[in-house]
Amino acid sequence: MLIGRVLGWILVGSAVLLALGEAVMAFGTGTYNGITTSEAWIFFLGTTPSFLDGASDGGLWSAIVLVVMAMPVWSVCVAAGLVLICICGEKSRRGRLFVSR
């Protein structure tokens, strides 16, 4: 559980750095389009995501995948990090009726 929390905090920290970098680039001269999740996927893995090929069939899952891949990469990192932090967080024993040890 500790590894999940640490990975979650690393994702949140990197998302903050990515968002700050995009904010600096947006205030610069000229036009700047943010880095999407699919562009980051291509940058890190070198290929387009294979599940995007079948994402045009019109189903709910394909619509969700297309929306997530079009989102800025920092927002996806924040969401994934917060989910990891919440899932892997320490469970409080206070407030339970029956405490098993």
CA distance 78 to 22: 15
- DSSP bridge pairs for 36: 72
Q: Fill in the amino acid letter for 33.
A: N
CA distance 22 to 77: 14
Going from N- to C-terminal start, the domains of the chain cover 2-87
- Band (pLDDT 50/70/90 cuts) for residue 99 is low
The model scores a pTM over 0.85: no
Residue-wise pLDDT for 35-58, tens only, equals: 888 888 888 888 877 766 655 666
Q: Which residues contact 84 (CB under 8 A, 6 or more apart)?
A: 4, 5, 7, 8, 11
